[in-house]
Amino acid sequence: MVVSTFPPSRETALSRLAQFVPGAGRRYETGRNTDAGPDQPAAVSRLSPYLRYRLVGESEVVSQVLVRHDFDVAEKFVQEVLWRTYWKGWLEMRPSVWLRFQEERDRQLGSFPAARAIAAAETGLTGIVGFDDWARELVETGYLHNHARMWFASIWIFTLRLPWSLGADFFLRHLLDADAASNTLSWRWVAGLQTPGKIYLATADNIARYTNGRFAPKGLAREAIALTESPIEAAQVLREPVTHDVRQPSLLLVTHEDMTPESVFDSALDVRSILVCADAQLLWGDGARHFVSDAAADTAARASAQFGCTAHLIERLDAQTLIAAADVAGCKHILTPYAPVGPVADALAQLTPKLASAGITLVQKRRAWDSAFWPHAKKGFFPFKEKIPALLRESGLV
């Protein structure tokens, strides 16, 4: 049921994008904050599951929008797309924040005494109108409007006073677009951790206004104090992408971090075989697992046509499977689109030395879009945002 609203194919992503593009200017700017409810027309694109797994890329989305609209007309939409890029770049330079979230979530899972309160919040039984509806909508559809995510997170933290990490975990287990960077850092932002001291407080008036009067919850916290934490690490230098000899016969590995390998790697590469991995253990929820599993079949068909060899679907990202496949294909190089901070990157980091001891080099290739924008995600979004027009111009990416 979840997947039917978001058919998991690149073709759907592209047709959804084409339908959305005419409204990416003023219509988006004025209507994007309104959440009229599931199944209602919306000014937002509902492209996030496709962007999350890169069935369509940020550069494609931005470039198609800018073909139709001048930058100043579509600026708001372009900036929103760049929030995803910004969060990924920010976390890439501070991987310990992802680790810190997981430790905090596990600690709370093991010790938070009010399990019933969590269960009521997750099943929509708190009695707070709107909040309960969003909890059910999330579980049923795998998607929530951005404003509903903000209201939900704010009420979870400041009205219900539940641990933010368990709310972030609830989102990860149900969102189709569940993502280490966007989810963790958005919850941190609402809680006042990401921009220390600055919280997002949901109000009944704002909710009533932007839900077209559907909800006006009573009893919301009227003031709140930002959560605090010990200082986080300074921004690290970005991992340098590894270069490789393009003439080497290679095995292409595709993970759910980037499911359009045909725009990452040149079709002239000597690709001997392709593995498309949908590893359920590296995803948090069943909705996302189904989405990725179907998208993997779609990706395999495209990649096979592009690189002219067979694509195999695999369900485990482990060294044994990769070594065996590389052996059969006669390759000592495995190429894969770059995996940003998250479970896939962790899995690749673990298996890289095992591949090396079998004489196999794993090469992760980062997209030009990420290389252009990520280094500028060292501070807040405001200085990053200021650079967007120049970076788009300079990089020739759109």
Ligand X SMILES: Cc1cc2nc3c(=O)[nH]c(=O)nc-3n(C[C@H](O)[C@H](O)[C@H](O)COP(=O)(O)OP(=O)(O)OC[C@H]3O[C@@H](n4cnc5c(N)ncnc54)[C@H](O)[C@@H]3O)c2cc1C
Work out whether strand 250-254 and strand 361-365 pair parallel, antiparallel, or are unpaired: unpaired
Which of residues 220 and 335 has its CB atom nearest to ligand X in the complex? 220
Distance CA 119, CA 139 (A): 13
Cβ of residue 53: shortest distance to ligand X, in angstroms? 10
Residue 51 makes contact with ligand X by CB under 6 A: yes
What residues from 193 to 252 belong to the interface with ligand X (CB under 6 A)?
Answer: none
Tell me the C-alpha distance between 147 and 161, whole Å. 20
Of the pair 202, 300, the CB lying nearest ligand X is at 202
Q: Does 45 bind ligand X (CB under 6 A)?
A: yes
Whichever of 176 and 326 has its CB closer to ligand X, that residue is 176
* Contact predicate 92/340, CB 8 Å: yes
Give the phi and the psi of residue 98 in degrees, each rounded to 5.
Answer: -70, -40
Q: Which is nearer to ligand X, 92 or 177 (CB)?
A: 177
Q: Give the one residue of 44, 251, 295, 344 binding ligand X; rule: CB under 6 A.
A: 44
Nearer to ligand X, 69 or 145 (CB): 145
Indicate which single residue of 6, 87, 131, 265 sits in contact with ligand X (rule: CB under 6 A).
87
Contact positions with ligand X (CB under 6 A) in 88-107: none
CB 178 within 8 A of CB 172: yes
Could you give the CA distance from residue 225 to residue 197 in angstroms, rounded to a whole number? Answer: 8
186 binds ligand X (CB under 6 A): yes
Contact (CB, 8 A) for 360 and 323: yes
* Helix, strand or coil, per DSSP, at residue 294: helix
383 burial type by CB count under 10 A (0-12 exposed, 13-18 middle, 19+ buried): exposed
Closest distance between ligand X and the C-beta of residue 149, in Å?
4
Q: Does residue 112 interact with ligand X by CB under 6 A? A: no
Is residue 183 a contact residue for ligand X (CB under 6 A)?
Answer: yes
Identify the burial level of 394 via C-beta atoms within 10 angstroms of its C-beta, where 0-12 means exposed, 13-18 middle and 19 or more buried: exposed
Q: Which residues contact 293 (CB under 8 A, 6 or more apart)?
A: 278, 280
User: Which window, 107-115, 185-193, 247-255, 337-345, contacts ligand X (CB under 6 A)?
Assistant: 185-193
Positions 139 through 168 that interact with ligand X (CB under 6 A): 145-146, 149-150, 153
Does the protein bind ligand X through residue 29 (CB under 6 A)? no
If binding is defined by CB under 6 A, does position 52 make contact with ligand X? yes
Among 31, 36, 71, 80, binds ligand X (CB under 6 A): 80
Sheet holding 311-314, edge to edge: 311-314, 271-277, 250-254, 333-337, 361-365
- Interface residue with ligand X among 35, 132, 133, 177 (CB under 6 A) is 177
Decide whether 164 or 265 has the Cβ nearer to ligand X. 164
The residue range among 10-18, 77-85, 258-266, 284-292 that interacts with ligand X, by the rule CB under 6 A, is 77-85
Residue 171 found at the interface with ligand X (CB under 6 A)? yes
Q: Please, are residues 94 and 188 in contact by the beta-carbon 8 Å criterion?
A: no
CA distances (Å), origin 232, targets 99, 100, 193, 299: 11, 9, 10, 38
Q: Kindly state the smallest distance separating residue 343's Cβ from ligand X, in Å.
A: 13
Interface residue with ligand X, options 32, 54, 188, 289 (CB under 6 A): 32
DSSP code of 132?
H
Interface with ligand X, residue 178, by CB under 6 A: yes
Which residues are CB-neighbours of 133 under 8 A, at least 6 positions away? Answer: 124, 215
Q: Does 175 bind ligand X (CB under 6 A)?
A: yes
The correct pick among 55, 65, 74, 81 for binding ligand X (CB under 6 A) is 81
- Distance, in Å, from the CA atom of 83 to the CA atom of 229, rounded to the nearest integer, reads 24
For ligand X, the binding residues (CB under 6 A) are: 32, 44-48, 51-52, 80-81, 83-84, 87, 145-146, 149-150, 153, 171, 175, 177-179, 182-183, 186-187, 190
